Amino acid sequence: MDMQTEFHELDDYTHRERRFLAAWKRGVALAGESYFHVTSASVAEAINKNQLRPDWQRIEHAIGVISRGEAAFLAAMYSFFNAEDGQALLVRAGFPNLCDVASKLDPPRAEVIAELFLTYPGW
């Protein structure tokens, strides 16, 4: 198979959505469930990202109080839900660009954000 006809798993929207949800669940667990509206029985049982929507008010109030690394991670995650408000959170937390965020994330959080970038199907 040549490069043009080779199927890539990330070209499959359904596969991307599954991978995104798995990464999103890991992110929710790392950030803390209290920053999300969990409408499924548990984070693990969520079958759709809309069952794990970020809680704007809790996140917005936490920025500036939680550690800079936690703020970078929460704001970056929120950006996948709402890019404009997420960018405002990033700037407020002192991370005006992607490189600044990357420099503050520990490996588990960086891996979550990287997987979300790779598989983002849109919200």
- 104-116 pLDDT, tens digit per residue, is 999 999 999 999 9
Has this prediction a pTM greater than 0.85?
Answer: yes
What integer pLDDT is reported at residue 120 of this predicted model? 95
pLDDT per residue over 15-52, tens digit each?
899 999 999 999 999 999 999 999 999 999 999 999 99
What residue spans define the domains of the chain? 14-119
54-87 confidence digits (pLDDT tens): 999 999 999 989 999 999 999 999 999 999 999 9
* Band (4; pLDDT cuts 50, 70, 90): low
Per-residue three-class SS string for the chain: CCCCCCCCHHHCHHHHHHHHHHHHHHHHHHHCHHHEEECCCCCCCCCCHHHEEECHHHHHHHCCCCCHHHHHHHHHHHHHHCHHHHHHHHHHCCCCCHHHHHHHCCHHHHHHHHHHHHHCCCC
- Check pLDDT > 90 for residue 97: no
